[in-house]
Amino acid sequence: MHIAYVIVTVVAALWVGFSAFSLLRRAPFVVDPLVEYGVPQTWWTPLGVAKALGSVGLLVGLFAPVIGAIAAIGLILYFAGAVVTVLRARSYKTVAFPVLYLVPVAVALGLGIAA
């Protein structure tokens, strides 16, 4: 179980970290949908920083489980909010994207609790 927890957590952290980096670098494949969803540009940097901190928190959680759990819960709330934002924008074809980030983080949290 511990090996699965470490692997899933590292993969989730890298995945979320890539998303944070892409948002902070203003990659078109990230920011174009944000414009479509109506997310104000002034929010983009704080959202990217939140994802980056969550990603780092997941990795720190491998050594300090409480930090990892807090980071995972924060990221789950973040991506749940992203799902709501996408649904409110009626962009049903893209709702899977925030879910693809939410699920590995939730699995990492579950494995961390079970470990």
Task: Convert the pLDDT of each residue in 2-47 to its tens digit.
Answer: 899 999 999 999 999 999 999 999 999 999 999 999 999 999 999 9
Is the pLDDT at 64 greater than 90, yes or no? yes
DSSP letter (8 states) at residue 42: G
Is the pLDDT at 77 greater than 80, yes or no? yes
Domain residue limits, the chain: 1-114
**In the Cβ-directed half-sphere of 113, how many Cα atoms lie within 13 Å?**
9
User: How far is the C-alpha of 52 from the C-alpha of 46, rounded, in Å?
Assistant: 10
The answer, as to whether pTM is greater than 0.95, is no
